[in-house]
Amino acid sequence: MRLWLRLAAAMAVVSILPLLLATILATRTAASKAERSSAELLQRDATAIATFVDTWMQDQGQAVSGWMQLYPLEAQSEAQRQGLLRAVHRAVPSVVSVVLVDADGQPLQPAVFLDREPEPDDPLAARTLGSPSRSAELVRRLPISEALAAPGVPAVGSPYRPPTSAVPVVPIAAVGRYGEGIVLGAEIELTVLSEVVRARSSGARGVALLDPSGAPFLGGTHPLIDPSPVHGLLGNAATVGYVTRNLPVRGALSPIGELGWSALVAEPSAIASRGADEIRQRSLEFMLAAVVLALITAFLLARTMSEPIADLTTSALAVSEGDLGHTVPVQGQDELAQLAEAFNLMSRRLAANQEEITAQRDEIEAFNRELQARVDERTAQLERAQEELVRSGQLAAVAEIGAGLAHELNNPLSSVLGIAQVLQAKSGDALVAQLVAEAERCRNVVEVMTRLSSPEGAGEADVIDLTEVLHEVLPPVRATARQRGVAVTLDALPEPLRVRVDPALAGRAVVQLIHALSAGLGSGRTLTIGARVADGKVLVSLAPDRPVDEGARRDDFLAAGVSLWVARQLVDRLGGTVRRPVAGEPWVLELPEAA
Q: Which fold has domain 364-455?
A: Helix Hairpins (1.10.287)
pLDDT above 80: residue 100: yes
Confidence of residue 89 (pLDDT cuts 50, 70, 90): confident
pLDDT above 50: residue 86: yes
Q: In terms of DSSP bridges, do strands 537-544 and 525-534 run parallel, antiparallel, or are they unpaired? A: antiparallel
Q: In terms of DSSP bridges, do strands 486-490 and 261-268 run parallel, antiparallel, or are they unpaired? A: unpaired
pLDDT above 50: residue 251: yes
Task: Quote the mean pLDDT of the chain.
Answer: 78
Cα 72 from Cα 197, distance rounded (Å): 38
In this prediction, residue 163 carries a pLDDT of: 86
In this prediction, residue 263 carries a pLDDT of: 92
Cα 443 from Cα 34, distance rounded (Å): 59
Confidence of residue 116 (pLDDT cuts 50, 70, 90): confident
Q: What does the pLDDT average to over 178-202?
A: 86
**CB within 8 A of 450, min separation 6: which ones?**
403, 406, 407, 410
Give pLDDT tens digits for 4-42: 566 666 766 766 777 677 777 766 776 677 677 878 888
In this prediction, residue 68 carries a pLDDT of: 78
Q: Which residue has the higher pLDDT, 16 or 230?
A: 230
Helix (H) or strand (E) holding 246: none
Cα 523 from Cα 515, distance rounded (Å): 14
Q: If you ran DSSP here, which 8-state letter would residue 231 be given?
A: G
Q: What does the pLDDT average to over 564-587?
A: 80
Range of lowest pLDDT (203-207, 373-377, 403-407):
403-407
Cα 66 from Cα 153, distance rounded (Å): 9
- Please, are residues 552 and 520 in contact by the beta-carbon 8 Å criterion? yes
Amino acid identity at 592: P
Range of lowest pLDDT (158-162, 176-180, 410-414):
176-180
Confidence of residue 207 (pLDDT cuts 50, 70, 90): very high
In this prediction, residue 458 carries a pLDDT of: 45
Confidence of residue 305 (pLDDT cuts 50, 70, 90): low
Cα 547 from Cα 438, distance rounded (Å): 36
In this prediction, residue 558 carries a pLDDT of: 41
- Give the rounded percent of residues in the chain with a pLDDT score beyond 90: 12
In this prediction, residue 168 carries a pLDDT of: 93
Range of lowest pLDDT (177-186, 203-212, 391-400, 415-424):
391-400
Query: Residue 316, CB half-sphere, CA atoms under 13 Å: how many?
Result: 18
- Please, are residues 299 and 79 in contact by the beta-carbon 8 Å criterion? no
In this prediction, residue 490 carries a pLDDT of: 87
pLDDT above 70: residue 451: no
Confidence of residue 47 (pLDDT cuts 50, 70, 90): very high
Amino acid identity at 432: V
Q: What does the pLDDT average to over 112-127?
A: 78
Cα 268 from Cα 32, distance rounded (Å): 17
Q: What does the pLDDT average to over 287-309?
A: 66
In this prediction, residue 560 carries a pLDDT of: 45
Q: Which residue has the higher pLDDT, 415 or 195?
A: 195
Give pLDDT tens digits for 171-184: 999 887 655 678 98
pLDDT above 50: residue 557: no
Q: Is 425 exposed, middle or buried (0-12, 13-18, 19+ CB in 10 A)?
A: exposed
Count the neighbouring beta carbons within 10 Å of the beta carbon of residue 485: 12
Confidence of residue 142 (pLDDT cuts 50, 70, 90): very high
Cα 180 from Cα 76, distance rounded (Å): 12
Q: Give CA separation, 233 vs 36, 262, 263, in Å.
A: 20, 10, 12
Q: What does the pLDDT average to over 419-444?
A: 77
Amino acid identity at 445: V
Q: Is 581 exposed, middle or buried (0-12, 13-18, 19+ CB in 10 A)?
A: middle
> 159-173, 258-272, 507-521: which has the highest mean pLDDT?
159-173
Residue 98: name the closest of 56, 125, 122, 134 by CA.
134
Angle made by CA atoms 8, 13, 19, in degrees to the nearest 5: 125
Q: Give CA separation, 298 vs 246, 279, 312, 334, in Å.
A: 51, 28, 22, 19
Tell me the domain boundaries of the chain: 33-283, 364-455, 459-592
Q: Which fold has domain 459-592?
A: Heat Shock Protein 90 (3.30.565)
pLDDT above 80: residue 282: no
In this prediction, residue 288 carries a pLDDT of: 77
pLDDT above 90: residue 170: yes
Q: How far is CA 445 from the centre of its chain?
A: 35
